[in-house]
């Protein structure tokens, strides 16, 4: 009975389904979100802008020496040493003196296509049709063909973003609550630190020194002592620490707090600039996952209060520290997510290149045609370089590797491999150990010997990775159920 269930599960689900679904999600919505986030290219040319519209991907093709383009099958790509990639087209509209011109569909580059995904010619084919195309009928797909070589993306294991993790520092009385705040490709580490005297400090990206907790709360709009006390829990330990910090605080209200932060962040600058710099820090760099607009400041203040509460309760030994090795505190980056990171970086470079080429054409007095300005190689070369070398966004290496084709089982195992970003030369005893939460998720036996032991693992046979959903949609559904945010 068990073997029949296993066979049926493997037949209907497959072992690499999550990679293919993740890539399909990236193509269907991930790319458009990245384009929409930029929206308009504004070169340094008077009364000239380029508005970005819909992006679309066609099926894989190859351009021959005579300029003709025809469909490219995976087997042809392997035999001819080509990349199995599809053309990308982006709707671009020139805005001259505030008037929109006719939108144009411009070829902007090529995107490598995952085998067996929606855009692949092998998708939905029967075993007989696969044999006729020269393919192995039991091949799983979920890999790429770059310059004729089969390449697979490693699943990266990382700490969960936008989640509060509390830990004790080397100095046993110091406690830190940290969150890796992630938004649209930006990842910043924001922390609330409590020292052994009970003082609370906040650190955020782009400013390397801690800022007093009470000052930050006032800058975010929770300005009076009464409102600050109301924002925290009633517990005695929490109250004591907050009263101590209020007594030590040198700021008195919101403008005063922003002025002090600005003086520290931009010393010697005019007051207006200092206040703008302080507002930029609290809006853009402090907890960006909550929002980057002034209206989100109150929500950020209450979030910081929760972080401070947790660190105080851990210091008072009324709450335990978070286990970083617990799998609830981990997330896996699979194929589609990794391609989204790579495409975001490559597209940002492409946008800068379009702006530069526009300015150059304007200086030389040339006619600014989109087809002359847009260089498809700017996007294609960056994506193909990372896919060919394995060097990824954020300095990760070995993310894209040559697929192990020793036999069918080794190929499947290779695609389902999970890699930790920790350095193999350090001991990391706890990170290498088998954890109780790995049960049913990771194979307890399949890990290499030597320095990579416990850092490279494999997913268990029935383990699946969910590909995530839209947070805004979830929030709307929760609010419909009557849940409200009383800030």
380 and 289 in a common domain: no
Confidence at residue 486, expressed as pLDDT on a 0 to 100 scale: 54
Percent of the chain whose predicted confidence (pLDDT) is above 90: 48
Residues 433 and 373 in one domain: yes
User: What pLDDT, on the 0 to 100 scale, is given for residue 277?
Assistant: 92
Measured CA to CA in angstroms, residue 418 lies from 196, 333, 350, 391 at distances of 39, 9, 31, 17
Domain co-membership, 127 together with 193: no
Amino acid 209: pLDDT = 86
Whole-number percent of the chain with pLDDT over 70: 98
Residue 32 backbone phi and psi in degrees, to 5:
-65, -35
Q: Which domain holds residue 411?
A: 14-158+331-458
At 78, the pLDDT band (50, 70, 90 cuts) reads very high
Q: Is the pLDDT of residue 100 over 90?
A: no
Please write the tens of the pLDDT for every residue from 322-346.
Answer: 888 999 999 999 989 999 999 999 9
> Which residues share a beta bridge with 168?
175
In a domain, 465, yes or no: no
pLDDT at 480 over 90: no
In this prediction, residue 68 carries a pLDDT of 85
pLDDT at 356: 92
Rounded CA Rg of the chain: 26
- In sequence order, the 6+-apart residues with CB closer than 8 A to the CB of 284 are 292
Domain contains 6: no
Specify the CATH number for the domain of residue 421.
Answer: 3.90.1100.10
Q: What's the rounded mean pLDDT across residues 454-477?
A: 84
As a whole number of Å, the end-to-end CA separation of the chain is 54
Using 50, 70 and 90 to split pLDDT, how confident is the model at 487? very low
Q: Are residues 110 and 173 in the same domain?
A: no
- Specify whether 153 is located in the same domain as 59: yes
Domain-terminating residue out of 291, 315, 339 = 315
pLDDT band at 426 (very low <50, low <70, confident <90, very high): confident
On whether the CB atoms of residues 53 and 118 are closer than 8 A, the answer is no
Assigned domain for 7 exists: no
Q: Is residue 338 part of a domain?
A: yes
Q: 308 and 344 in one domain?
A: no
**343 φ/ψ angles, rounded to the nearest 5 degrees:** -65, -40
Q: Residue 288 pLDDT more than 50? A: yes
227 and 284 share one domain: yes
Residues 407 and 297 in one domain: no
Q: Using the 3D structure, point to which of 264, 291, 315 is the last residue of a domain.
A: 315
Q: What is the pLDDT of residues 20-50, one digit of tens each?
A: 999 999 999 889 999 998 989 888 888 888 9
Whether residue 79 is found in the same domain as residue 101 = yes
Higher pLDDT, 118 or 421: 118
- pLDDT at 111 > cutoff 90: yes
Residues 170 and 305 in one domain: yes
Number of domains in the chain: 2
Mean pLDDT over the full length of the chain = 89
Verify that 307 and 343 share a domain, yes or no.
Answer: no
* The pLDDT of residue 224: 84
Boundary-marking domain end, from 315, 346, 373: 315
One domain, residues 290 and 182: yes
**The domain spanning residue 274 has which CATH number?**
3.90.1110.10
Give the pLDDT mean for 467-476. Answer: 78
Could you tell me the pLDDT band of residue 5, with boundaries at 50, 70 and 90? confident
Give mean pLDDT, residues 72-91.
Answer: 93
- pLDDT-based confidence at residue 401 (cuts at 50, 70, 90): very high
């Amino acid at each position: 009975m068990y073997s029949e269930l296993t066979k049926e599960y493997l037949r209907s689900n497959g072992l690499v389904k999550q990679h293919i679904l993740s890539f399909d999600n990236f193509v269907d919505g991930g790319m458009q979100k990245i384009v929409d986030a930029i929206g308009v290219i504004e070169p340094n040319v008077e009364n000239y802008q380029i508005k970005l519209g819909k992006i679309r991907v066609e099926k894989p093709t190859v351009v021959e020496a005579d300029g003709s383009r025809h469909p490219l099958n995976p087997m042809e790509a392997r035999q001819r040493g080509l990349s199995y990639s599809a053309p990308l087209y982006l709707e671009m509209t020139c805005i001259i003196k505030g008037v929109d011109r006719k939108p144009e569909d411009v070829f902007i580059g090529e995107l490598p296509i995952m085998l067996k995904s929606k855009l692949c010619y092998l998708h939905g084919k029967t075993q007989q049709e696969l044999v006729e195309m020269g393919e192995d009928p039991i091949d799983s797909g979920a890999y790429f063909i770059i310059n004729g070589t089969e390449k697979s993306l490693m699943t990266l294991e990382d700490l969960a973003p936008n989640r509060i993790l509390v830990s004790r520092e080397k100095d046993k009385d110091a406690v830190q609550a940290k969150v890796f705040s992630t938004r649209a490709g930006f990842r910043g580490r924001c922390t609330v630190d409590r020292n052994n005297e009970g003082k609370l400090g906040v650190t955020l990206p782009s400013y390397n020194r801690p800022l007093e907790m009470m000052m930050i709360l006032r800058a975010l709009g929770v300005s009076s002592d009464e409102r600050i006390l109301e924002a925290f829990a009633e517990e005695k330990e929490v109250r004591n620490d907050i009263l101590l910090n209020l007594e030590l605080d040198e700021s008195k209200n919101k403008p005063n707090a922003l002025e002090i932060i600005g003086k520290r962040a931009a010393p010697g600058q005019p007051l207006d600039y200092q206040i703008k710099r302080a507002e930029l820090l609290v809006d853009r760099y402090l907890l960006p996952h909550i929002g980057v607009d002034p209206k989100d400041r109150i929500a950020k203040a209450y979030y910081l209060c929760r972080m401070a509460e947790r660190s105080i309760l851990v210091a008072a030994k009324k709450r335990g520290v978070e286990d970083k090795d617990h799998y609830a505190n981990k997330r896996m980056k699979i194929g589609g997510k990794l391609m989204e990171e790579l495409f975001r970086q490559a597209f940002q470079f492409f946008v800068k290149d379009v702006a530069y080429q526009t300015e150059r054409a304007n200086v030389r007095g040339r006619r600014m045609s989109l087809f002359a300005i847009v260089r498809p190689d700017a996007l294609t070369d960056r994506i193909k370089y990372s896919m060919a070398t394995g060097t990824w966004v954020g300095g990760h290496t070995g993310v894209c590797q040559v697929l192990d084709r020793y036999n069918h089982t080794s190929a499947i195992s290779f695609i389902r491999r999970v890699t930790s970003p920790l350095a193999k030369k350090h001991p990391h005893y706890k990170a290498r150990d088998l954890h109780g939460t790995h049960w049913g998720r990771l194979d307890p036996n399949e890990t290499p010997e030597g320095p990579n032991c416990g850092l490279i693992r494999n997913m268990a046979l029935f383990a699946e990775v969910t590909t995530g959903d839209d947070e805004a949609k979830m929030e709307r559904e929760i609010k419909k159920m009557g849940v409200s945010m009383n800030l």
